[in-house]
Amino acid sequence: MTGKLLYNGTVLTMDADNCVIKSGYVYMEGDTIREVGEWRPDERLDQLRSRCSFAYDAAGKAIVPGLINAHTHLFQTFMRGAADHLPLSRWLREVIWPLSLAMEPDDFYLAALIGCIENLKSGATYVMDHHYIHTSPENTSGVLRAFVDSGIRGHLARGGSDLCGERQLRETEERIFADTDALLDRWEGAASGRVRIALGPLNLYACSRPYLEQAARFSRDRDLIAHVHVAETSEQIDNTLERFGLRNLELLDKVGLLGSRTQVVHGIWLNDEELAAIRERRATVVHCPVSNMYLASGVTRVPDMQRLGINVALGTDGPGSNNCQDNLEVLKFTACLHKVSSMDASLLPPMDVLRMATANGAKAMGREADLGSLEPGKKADIVVIDLTKPHIRPVHRVSSALVYNANGNDVELVVVGGRVVVENGQCVMLDERELLLRAQSRVDALRAKLSSRYPVFASGD
Ligand SMILES: [Zn+2]
């Protein structure tokens, strides 16, 4: 079998020892990494290179495991920058819900495709998409088709809410679980295993207790990840305290939804007892620093979680509250946010932040055995980042350059499951320009439709 070779670059393996190989190589066959080592060309390595169908000289570049974006809502590329001045509840009512309801099934495919392209081009080979707009069953299949067509590894958390503040987005429990079963039948493991399905109860204030209890049973019976917004704002804590006398995470635990398959998204307003419960149940917290700052939601207690040994993964959150999907930018925001909020510059060294976006992300997905690091036997999900640029050079430490200097525009090459999907910084599978033109004209039309009822869509400054 002829393989692919990336050589002569700095390899950050993100293995258990955070091993860095200054001049290294990664050799893959099919969808699997076969060799990782020092690039000291001898007869064997020269032969290996000449036999390969694809050999890439990564001089001056970093070779890293594909980043894992553990929380986004891809359909929101149509909402980026629509309103930069609203807290969560108003932002939902005045921007996200009206535009979501106006979007047609084809819009969801197009919006998700642009989101997938942006994720790939900023170094994410795996996204967890929390999709909760079910005005048509074709919305969801549009997102899943975008995973397939873009070449990304995509996990769709089938969102659901039976008490959503927007009536048109409410669904019955029966419908949510029947649809999830249908998605599992049709899509689980599609595209050579790149596509997966998870459970995504929207949050703890727009879901009834019976629905959450059923979700816990469903997730256990089918061994599915449960992906839930938890404790994003202090008002959400007041809501469940009033309804049940329980804080958000206490309710999640009480209904049986807090376990090792659980992804607690945001997890901002948590007390010491709740952090202890997350640790005990071996759940993951998905931290989305840019969104939390953008919506002024609060600061997740990441340093405390690290001290407790809680698995913390990273997410961009949807483009409605980020407003981009630049996964490298998230690394810098993560480090800077916790240094300033704790007034402690020693927190979150670069390698720790890189682990959150790689190994911790893989653990969150239950995939630590085959993703999250560059080691023989793991899936060939690999990203090459150019470090030969004036905003990056000279480099003292590659890990620091990746966290503090590099951004999505520096991603040169992306391989998912052994297949090259971005080369020379360009998506190889899709006509990006044509998609962007189409998206802009659709968003212009949607704005015109909504502008008389929602002032946010009337101004175009
Ligand atoms: Zn979210």
Encode pLDDT of 214-264 as tens digits: 999 999 999 999 999 999 999 999 999 999 999 999 999 999 999 999 999
The domain of 163 spans 67-364
The pLDDT, as a whole number, for residue 137 is 93
CA of 227 to the centre of ligand 1 (A): 10
CA of 318 to the centre of ligand 1 (A): 6
The pLDDT, as a whole number, for residue 91 is 86
Domain-located, residue 457: no
CA of 56 to the centre of ligand 1 (A): 37
Tell me the mean pLDDT in the region 430-449: 96
The pLDDT, as a whole number, for residue 339 is 98
Q: Are residues 22 and 113 in the same domain?
A: no
- 4-12 and 20-29 strand pairing: antiparallel
Q: Is the distance from CB of 188 to CB of 196 less than 8 angstroms?
A: yes
pLDDT tens-digit series, residues 166-189: 999 999 999 999 999 999 999 999
- Structurally, the chain folds into a number of domains equal to 2
Q: Are residues 126 and 136 in the same domain?
A: yes
CA of 130 to the centre of ligand 1 (A): 7
End-of-domain residue from the set 337, 364, 391: 364
Q: Are residues 59 and 74 in the same domain?
A: no
CA of 60 to the centre of ligand 1 (A): 36
- 220: number of Cβ within 10 Å: 14
The pLDDT, as a whole number, for residue 83 is 86
Domain-located, residue 439: no
Residues with CB under 5 A from ligand 1 (ion): 317
What confidence category does residue 88 fall into, taking pLDDT thresholds of 50, 70 and 90?
Answer: confident
End-of-domain residue from the set 334, 364, 394: 364
pLDDT at 456 over 90: no
pLDDT tens-digit series, residues 110-121: 999 999 999 999
End-to-end CA distance of the chain: 56
Q: Are residues 38 and 95 in the same domain?
A: no
CA of 89 to the centre of ligand 1 (A): 13
Domain-located, residue 448: no
Domain-located, residue 456: no
pLDDT tens-digit series, residues 345-401: 999 999 999 999 999 999 999 999 999 999 999 999 999 999 999 999 999 999 999
Domain-located, residue 17: yes
How many separate helices (H) and strands (E) can be counted in the chain? Answer: 18, 17
pLDDT at 265 over 90: yes
Domain-located, residue 222: yes
Domain-located, residue 78: yes
Whichever domain contains 269, its CATH number is 3.20.20.140
Whichever domain contains 31, its CATH number is 2.30.40.10
CA of 315 to the centre of ligand 1 (A): 9
Q: Are residues 77 and 100 in the same domain?
A: yes
For the chain, what percent of residues have pLDDT higher than 70? 99
pLDDT at 1 over 70: no
Q: Are residues 56 and 73 in the same domain?
A: no
Q: Are residues 300 and 358 in the same domain?
A: yes
The 3-state secondary structure of 113-168, one letter per residue: HHHHHHHHHCCEEEEEEEECCCCCHHHHHHHHHHHHHHCCEEEEEEEECCCCCCHH
Q: Are residues 72 and 202 in the same domain?
A: yes
Q: Are residues 177 and 242 in the same domain?
A: yes
The pLDDT, as a whole number, for residue 460 is 66
Q: Are residues 284 and 214 in the same domain?
A: yes
Residue 226 CA to residue 215 CA, distance in Å, equals 8
Domain-located, residue 434: no
Q: Are residues 172 and 46 in the same domain?
A: no
Residue 172 CA to residue 99 CA, distance in Å, equals 22
CA of 229 to the centre of ligand 1 (A): 6
CA of 364 to the centre of ligand 1 (A): 16
CA of 122 to the centre of ligand 1 (A): 19
User: Strand pairing partners for 64?
Assistant: 383
- The pTM of the full predicted model, rounded to 2 decimals, is 0.97
Q: Are residues 56 and 101 in the same domain?
A: no
The pLDDT, as a whole number, for residue 103 is 97
End-of-domain residue from the set 364, 389, 408: 364
